[in-house]
Amino acid sequence: MSSRMLRVLAGTAVLGVLAAGCGSQGGDAGAGASGGEKITLSLNLFGNMGFKELYAEYEAAHPNIKIVERTSAYNDHHRNLAAHLATKQGAADIEGIDTGFIAQFRGQPQHFTDLNQHGAAALKDRWLPWKWEASLAKTGAQIGYGTDVGGLAMCYRRDLFEKAGLPTDRDEVSKLWPDWTSYFEAGKKYTANKPEGAAFFDGAPQVFNAMVGQMPVGYYDTSDQVIVASNPELRKAYDQVLEAVAGGQSAKLVGSSPAWNTGFAKSQFATIACPAWMLAKIQDQGKEFAGQWDVAAIPGGGGNWGGAYLTVPAQSKHPKEAVELISWLTAPEQQIKVFTKHGILPSTVATYDKPEVKKLTHEFFNDAPIGEIFTTAALNLKPQYQGPRAGDIQTAIRDGMNRVEEGKQSADEAWAQILKDIDRIDK
């Protein structure tokens, strides 16, 4: 999921380079392809952000550039990035940052290349306004270009629903759960007749994250005060999810863990909260179930979960070339390619009316109209303010809910520890 850049060049001696640079803002990978020293650009990312097929295209048009991608688990990646920035060594030329962590890192603009110094203002209108603003530091520095947005839906297994006696048509399934209370009621019906080994949903924290993504106010107020303890909607959602866990609806899998990945292949759950980027994960891990997965409306309607940014740390040895690459990777033309291949939803507004996006259906997901579903969700969502440690707070809540699922704590005990953990995070 990310984006970035343009260049400010001065002097008549660089007019030829400037002409090439203009092409690199859009879909022309041939811009700036002239020789020069051989440069390796490293990218540290988390999960499948959909770029792998694009690297060969860029390298072919830029024979002096070699691109090396390294991926790691979500929390490990962001923890490692924080350490690399603090020690001023070890960061890649390009680092991906999730929406949940962007507020933390935009508070450290000194550690990143300011894209405004490379003509970022000329690209501003590419993105949804809130996507652009989320990576903008208070100093005015722009640290990242947006890759994707989350846009929420609910993915479900048609075959498992049929075996449990629930409807399978996506419109009928959407009618099952106009709100989250209805979703968990549907879960009770499913659980009463479920196929052996197939729970209703994958794990408590994943459902909780989707519910939080719909709230007007989440972990912070707009003055950067943590309000987890005083936001009743958070505790209500927490209790609802864990009540469903107690009723046997959860497969008790930790999101993005090896066991969770295996859960797709072993049919261990029938529904999963499904931001657009989740489509790629489902395809990667559950290849044998093409056509059995489908996409319905999310309970409660709308909301956002996730999305990412591409940034260039100040310690990059090749900041100019790195900025050029992230600008190209996050250009509308490339975001369309990533969406049509992986279902990862663009954050660039101009793509939403393109027929290849708006009219896109997905064979793997029973020809679901994912273009219409997710672009509508993106245009209608009301962005939630993300404070500086939102990602760490989300992790603390995830860990607490996992302890409940593992039988190590009661829901009340875990909530009390969550609040203590968050208090330490906030200091």
Return d(Cα 71, Cα 113) in angstroms, integer: 21
Is residue 2 included in any domain, yes or no? Answer: no
- 94 and 139 share one domain: yes
pLDDT in tens, 377-411: 877 777 888 899 998 999 999 999 999 999 999 99
- 114 and 68 share one domain: yes
Contact 342, 280 (CB under 8 A): yes
pLDDT at position 35, please?
54
What one-letter code names the amino acid at 314?
A
pLDDT at position 13, please?
33
Residue where one domain finishes, among candidates 291, 320, 351: 351
**Dihedral over alpha carbons 39, 43, 49, 52 (to 10 degrees):** 30
Q: What is Dmax (Cα atoms) for the chain?
A: 74
> If DSSP codes are grouped into helix, strand and coil, which group holds residue 254?
coil
- 78 and 105 share one domain: yes
pLDDT at position 380, please?
75
Is residue 3 included in any domain, yes or no? Answer: no
- 32 and 52 share one domain: yes
Torsion sign across C-alpha atoms 46, 292, 260, 253 = positive
Is residue 5 included in any domain, yes or no? Answer: no
Torsion sign across C-alpha atoms 301, 302, 303, 307 = positive
Return d(Cα 292, Cα 290) in angstroms, integer: 6
- 398 and 291 share one domain: yes
- 39 and 136 share one domain: yes
Domain count, the chain: 2
- 47 and 77 share one domain: yes
* Least confident span in 32-46, 247-261, 340-354: 32-46
Phi-psi region of 139 (alpha: psi -120 to 50; beta: other; left: phi over 0): alpha
pLDDT at position 37, please?
85
- 282 and 183 share one domain: yes
- 142 and 116 share one domain: yes
- Picking from 77, 80, 58, 76, the residue whose alpha carbon sits closest to that of residue 68 is 58
Angle at 356 between CA 355 and CA 359, to 5 degrees: 60
Q: Beta strands 152-157 and 307-311: pairing type?
A: unpaired
Question: 204-213 vs 390-405: helix axis angle to the nearest 10?
Answer: 140
Is residue 48 included in any domain, yes or no? Answer: yes
Neighbouring-strand partners of residue 220: 226
pLDDT at position 303, please?
80
pLDDT in tens, 248-286: 999 999 998 999 999 999 999 999 999 999 998 999 999
Neighbouring-strand partners of residue 168: none
Q: Which domain holds residue 413?
A: 152-303+364-425
Instruction: Band the pLDDT of 426: cuts 50, 70, 90.
Output: confident
- Picking from 49, 100, 101, the residue whose alpha carbon sits closest to that of residue 71 is 49
pLDDT in tens, 179-236: 999 999 999 999 999 999 999 999 999 999 999 999 999 999 999 999 999 999 999 9
Instruction: Band the pLDDT of 23: cuts 50, 70, 90.
Output: very low
Taking residues 283-295, what's their average pLDDT?
95
Is residue 178 included in any domain, yes or no? Answer: yes
> If DSSP codes are grouped into helix, strand and coil, which group holds residue 112?
strand
CATH at 67: 3.40.190.10
pLDDT above 90 (res 8): no
pLDDT at position 343, please?
86
- Picking from 275, 333, 340, the residue whose alpha carbon sits closest to that of residue 100 is 275
- 110 and 179 share one domain: no
pLDDT above 90 (res 122): yes
pLDDT above 70 (res 331): yes
Tokens encoding 332: 């509308």
pLDDT in tens, 61-114: 999 999 999 999 888 999 999 999 999 999 999 999 999 899 999 999 999 999
Neighbours of 125 (CB within 10 A): 11
Kindly write down the DSSP assignment for every residue of 217-271, as one continuous string: S-SB-TTS-B-TTT-HHHHHHHHHHHHHHHTT-B--PPTTSHHHHHHHHTT-EEE
pTM: 0.81
pLDDT in tens, 138-159: 999 999 999 999 889 999 999 9
Is residue 313 included in any domain, yes or no? Answer: yes
> If DSSP codes are grouped into helix, strand and coil, which group holds residue 173?
helix
- 109 and 171 share one domain: no
pLDDT at position 301, please?
80
Is residue 356 included in any domain, yes or no? Answer: no
Torsion sign across C-alpha atoms 14, 92, 139, 97 = positive
- Helix (H) or strand (E) run with residue 99 in it: helix 99-106
Is residue 28 included in any domain, yes or no? Answer: yes
- 188 and 279 share one domain: yes
Mean pLDDT for the chain?
90
pLDDT at position 20, please?
32
